[in-house]
Amino acid sequence: MNIAIDGPAGAGKSTVAQKVAAQLGYVYIDTGAMYRALAWAALEADLDLADESAVADLLRENRIYLRRNGGSQQVFWNEQDITGLIRTPAVSNAASIVASHGQVRAQMLNLQRQLAAEGNVVMDGRDIGTHVLPDADVKIFLTASITERAKRRLTELTQKGHSATLAELEAEIEARDKRDSEREVAPLRQADDAILVDTTGHSIEEVVEQLLDICKKSG
Ligand code: C5P
């Protein structure tokens, strides 16, 4: 069984997807981390993020690798562990720019389908139910109010020692959702057969239970 979890920025997809995968004994694949890794490398290389060929070449010539580490996931760019470097607002913003390029998405699609080929994966992103795994057995579209999503991001960033304000994060999330929804290739969209789950006001545990229940009914 494959499970696709899509939704806007900060809806709690990765936290929830990781826990659902652990409960089911499935492999968790964070596709956002792959775009973030590429964005981080493009920033490091001082590339023009709008230069589609340059960014696509960078991806072609290097290797992104996701490794399971207990309950969480590590992200490697070639041999470098960049897990702790890819969650900043600058990388979030850059990720959504590099993710708008068709040449980049085509390569990511291949990589992501290879990762899911053996089945029993929980994959989260923006286009999993619509493009990467259109035949997924369970499709969830996870969302929450913009204020709640910004509050969660603020807690996450503060815990990691970064500083930001709620207003800044709301603006960043809104801009990113707009870019992700309006891009031409594989925009953020709820698949016709996806189940909408609004997590506003619900704890992580409640949402995980709800998703496991949906999976049980589909299995
Ligand atoms: O989910 P996360 O916030 O880590 O994703 C970072 C960015 O990567 C998103 O804003 C989006 O532009 C891009 N992305 C995407 N397709 C995916 C996953 C992420 O375009 N499947």
Can you tell me which residue has the tokens 């994060």?
169
pLDDT digits (tens, 9 = 90+) for 111-138: 999 999 988 999 999 999 999 999 999 9
Nearest-angstrom CA–CA distance, 171 and 177 = 10
Q: Is the pLDDT of residue 71 over 90?
A: no
Mutate to test the pocket of ligand 1, among 30, 31, 122, 172 (most ligand atoms within 8 A of CB): 31
153 burial type by CB count under 10 A (0-12 exposed, 13-18 middle, 19+ buried): buried
pLDDT of residue 176: 92
Answer left, alpha or beta for residue 183, where phi above 0 means left and psi between -120 and 50 means alpha: beta
Q: 129: Cβ–Cβ under 8 A, 6 or more apart, which residues?
A: 4, 6, 136, 139, 140, 141, 190, 191, 193, 194
Q: What is the mean pLDDT of the chain?
A: 95
Nearest-angstrom CA–CA distance, 188 and 135 = 17
- Residue 118 near residue 172, CB atoms below 8 Å: no
Q: Is the pLDDT of residue 66 over 90?
A: yes
Q: Is the pLDDT of residue 219 over 90?
A: no
State the distance from the centre of ligand 1 to the C-alpha of 219, rounded, in angstroms: 28
Question: Which band of pLDDT confidence, cut at 50, 70 and 90, is reported for residue 13?
Answer: very high
Model ipTM over 0.90:
yes
Q: Average the pLDDT over 152-163 and give the result.
A: 88
**Any idea which of 29-33, 60-64, 85-89, 193-197 has the lowest mean pLDDT?**
85-89
Q: Average the pLDDT over 83-95 and give the result.
A: 93
Nearest CA, atom 9, ligand 1: 96
Strand pairing category for 27-30 and 121-125 = parallel
